[in-house]
Structure 1
Amino acid sequence: MAKTITLEIVTPDKMVLKEEVDYVGAPGINGEFGVLPNHIPFLSALGIGSLYYKLNGKKYFVFVAGGFAEVSPAKVTVLAEVAERAEDIDLERARRAQDRAEQRAKQQQEKLDHAAVQAALARALHRMKCRQTAVSEGTCRM
């Protein structure tokens, strides 16, 4: 029985991560799911949040927003709209995005797309949470 599983995280722009890992936890659209080596195959839409993986007893974090995860017994392939390793997250940029989203939410315009505003706010908040969690776990290279 295999002891590790290959994790690949890809966005339309680049390969974010390719690593042999012990475990993967991901934010599915209907809740978080976990994957160990030799997992049964399945496909899941991804929500917004922190994907994490375990390697040699340590947790590492990647912010993901949208896309899909394909699981096979030997591999987890994440095709994400947005993915950033925790150490690559610019907290100032995320705070500015949060401020912009909150300001747009306060506007009382008829044409305001509330779903888009809420999605932007969720991305900013989860991006910051991913970075802060990685820092507190001690797995974020600064």
Structure 2
Amino acid sequence: MTNENDKMLGVWVEPLAEEYWMRPGDVFTIAYDDADHVEDVIGDAHFDVQSHGDMVTVWTGCRYQVAVYDQSGTKLVPGHQLPIEVLRMRTEQAEAVARNPYEGRPYLTPDNADWLRESAERLRTALTREETAALPGQQPMK
């Protein structure tokens, strides 16, 4: 898969909603982690690709794990190259939900509410790290 656009392209890999971002000119390969086993079990393994403007969704069609690789063959982790403005928006949304997790969600358990608060905290930590790294002369926080 090649991003031939002049802007970032988001790639969602389903069914696990893993997200990767491609810069213009980036080339990614999406493959089953254990392609031989998948072929034995489901036959001709394939992907269904749907375009949504600045996002592409890749459906794997089965429950087997896939891996995403860059042009050098490096296995990528979900969230690869997530634009800081997207991270900022998601952090603000998660924090708003975490402030009152039960509003409009009476079905939530206390464990679900705790998970929402923890997710908001993880996003805030990631955003702080990225914003610090973006400052002139700063080193990324580990």
Q: TM-score range by the shorter chain?
A: 0.3 to 0.5
Q: Which has the higher helix share?
A: 2
TM-score (norm 2): 0.35
Which of structures 1 and 2 has the larger relative contact order (alpha carbons within 8 angstroms, sep 6+)?
Answer: 1
Rg: which structure is higher?
Answer: 2
Q: Which has the higher strand share?
A: 1
TM-score (norm 1): 0.35
